[in-house]
Amino acid sequence: MEVLREDEVLALEEEILRKLEERLTPIMHQVAADAAKRAMHELRLDLLSHLSRHETHIKHLNRAEAALSEVSGLR
């Protein structure tokens, strides 16, 4: 059985790590991009929901104001 010298072992380890990094880097970039897209989608949904609640509240206030004006006009 061949005995590897320490520098050969280190060279093999470096090569293995380099190959793993080459494979994992694009995957990690894609994971990060997907996570960012999901976060932006969730934020959009939250903002739309928030705006919808305000629009509903404004419609109720407008109706209440119209009703108050109508009641005031009857006096």
Q: Where exactly are the structural domains of the chain? A: 46-75
Task: State residue 71's pLDDT score.
Answer: 82
The percent helix, strand, coil of the chain (3-state, each to 5) is 90, 0, 10
As a whole number, the mean pLDDT across the chain is 92
Task: State residue 75's pLDDT score.
Answer: 64
Q: What distance in Å separates the CA atoms of residue 27 and residue 20, rounded to the nearest whole number?
A: 11
Token pair listed for 19: 């190959």
